[in-house]
Structure 1
Amino acid sequence: MSQRVASTIGIPALAAAMAIRADLLCGIHIALAADVLVTVIAVLLLAAGLKQRRPAATS
Protein backbone atom coordinates (compact mmCIF):
# COMPACT_ATOMS: atom_id res chain seq x y z
CA MET A 1 0.00 0.00 0.00
CA SER A 2 2.82 2.45 0.74
CA GLN A 3 4.06 2.12 -2.85
CA ARG A 4 0.63 3.12 -4.13
CA VAL A 5 0.58 6.15 -1.88
CA ALA A 6 4.10 7.09 -2.93
CA SER A 7 3.17 6.79 -6.59
CA THR A 8 -0.05 8.73 -6.13
CA ILE A 9 1.73 11.59 -4.39
CA GLY A 10 5.22 11.33 -5.85
CA ILE A 11 4.51 11.33 -9.58
CA PRO A 12 2.41 14.54 -9.58
CA ALA A 13 4.86 16.22 -7.18
CA LEU A 14 7.84 15.41 -9.41
CA ALA A 15 5.89 16.48 -12.48
CA ALA A 16 5.13 19.81 -10.81
CA ALA A 17 8.81 20.24 -9.90
CA MET A 18 9.74 19.44 -13.49
CA ALA A 19 7.21 21.93 -14.85
CA ILE A 20 8.81 24.78 -12.89
CA ARG A 21 11.41 25.19 -15.63
CA ALA A 22 10.55 25.65 -19.29
CA ASP A 23 13.73 23.86 -20.35
CA LEU A 24 12.92 20.12 -20.23
CA LEU A 25 16.40 18.92 -19.24
CA CYS A 26 16.72 21.47 -16.45
CA GLY A 27 13.24 20.52 -15.23
CA ILE A 28 14.23 16.87 -15.12
CA HIS A 29 17.32 17.76 -13.08
CA ILE A 30 15.16 19.67 -10.60
CA ALA A 31 12.74 16.75 -10.31
CA LEU A 32 15.58 14.26 -9.77
CA ALA A 33 17.18 16.50 -7.14
CA ALA A 34 13.83 16.75 -5.34
CA ASP A 35 13.45 12.96 -5.49
CA VAL A 36 16.93 12.41 -4.06
CA LEU A 37 16.26 14.93 -1.29
CA VAL A 38 13.00 13.25 -0.30
CA THR A 39 14.64 9.80 -0.38
CA VAL A 40 17.54 10.92 1.83
CA ILE A 41 15.15 12.49 4.33
CA ALA A 42 13.05 9.31 4.42
CA VAL A 43 16.13 7.14 5.00
CA LEU A 44 17.32 9.40 7.84
CA LEU A 45 13.89 9.33 9.48
CA LEU A 46 13.70 5.55 9.19
CA ALA A 47 17.21 5.15 10.61
CA ALA A 48 16.35 7.40 13.56
CA GLY A 49 13.13 5.47 14.18
CA LEU A 50 14.88 2.11 14.05
CA LYS A 51 17.64 3.33 16.35
CA GLN A 52 15.05 4.29 18.98
CA ARG A 53 13.33 0.88 18.79
CA ARG A 54 16.56 -1.09 19.24
CA PRO A 55 16.80 -2.47 22.81
CA ALA A 56 19.80 -1.42 24.87
CA ALA A 57 22.58 -3.98 25.14
CA THR A 58 23.03 -5.50 28.59
CA SER A 59 26.47 -6.41 29.86
Structure 2
Amino acid sequence: MWKDPIVEEIHKVREEIARECGYDPEKIFKRIQALEKKNSGRIAHKEDLRNAG
Protein backbone atom coordinates (compact mmCIF):
# COMPACT_ATOMS: atom_id res chain seq x y z
CA MET A 1 0.00 0.00 0.00
CA TRP A 2 1.26 3.50 -0.87
CA LYS A 3 2.20 5.66 2.10
CA ASP A 4 1.97 9.42 2.09
CA PRO A 5 4.93 10.93 3.98
CA ILE A 6 2.89 14.00 4.96
CA VAL A 7 0.14 11.86 6.49
CA GLU A 8 2.75 9.75 8.28
CA GLU A 9 4.30 12.91 9.76
CA ILE A 10 0.88 14.12 10.94
CA HIS A 11 0.23 10.78 12.64
CA LYS A 12 3.67 10.87 14.27
CA VAL A 13 3.17 14.39 15.65
CA ARG A 14 -0.38 13.58 16.79
CA GLU A 15 0.92 10.57 18.72
CA GLU A 16 3.72 12.64 20.30
CA ILE A 17 1.25 15.30 21.47
CA ALA A 18 -1.13 12.66 22.86
CA ARG A 19 1.70 10.88 24.70
CA GLU A 20 3.04 14.15 26.15
CA CYS A 21 -0.47 14.95 27.41
CA GLY A 22 -0.93 11.52 28.98
CA TYR A 23 -3.64 10.73 26.40
CA ASP A 24 -5.95 13.08 28.34
CA PRO A 25 -8.43 14.62 25.85
CA GLU A 26 -8.74 17.85 27.85
CA LYS A 27 -4.95 18.33 27.94
CA ILE A 28 -4.65 17.46 24.25
CA PHE A 29 -7.33 20.02 23.37
CA LYS A 30 -5.64 22.75 25.42
CA ARG A 31 -2.27 21.92 23.88
CA ILE A 32 -3.69 22.16 20.36
CA GLN A 33 -5.38 25.47 21.18
CA ALA A 34 -2.04 26.82 22.46
CA LEU A 35 -0.28 25.65 19.29
CA GLU A 36 -2.96 27.26 17.11
CA LYS A 37 -2.60 30.55 18.98
CA LYS A 38 1.20 30.46 18.75
CA ASN A 39 1.14 29.64 15.02
CA SER A 40 -2.00 31.53 13.97
CA GLY A 41 -0.36 33.02 10.89
CA ARG A 42 0.65 29.59 9.60
CA ILE A 43 -2.76 27.90 9.79
CA ALA A 44 -5.00 27.81 6.70
CA HIS A 45 -8.71 28.30 7.28
CA LYS A 46 -11.42 27.28 4.84
CA GLU A 47 -12.59 30.89 4.59
CA ASP A 48 -9.12 31.91 3.42
CA LEU A 49 -9.16 29.21 0.76
CA ARG A 50 -12.58 30.27 -0.53
CA ASN A 51 -11.43 33.89 -0.88
CA ALA A 52 -8.14 32.95 -2.56
CA GLY A 53 -9.60 32.01 -5.93
TM-score class, shorter: 0.3 to 0.5
Question: Greater helix share, 1 or 2?
Answer: 1
Max radius of gyration: which structure?
1
* TM-score computed with the length of structure 2 as normaliser: 0.42
Higher RCO (Cα < 8 Å, 6 or more apart): 1
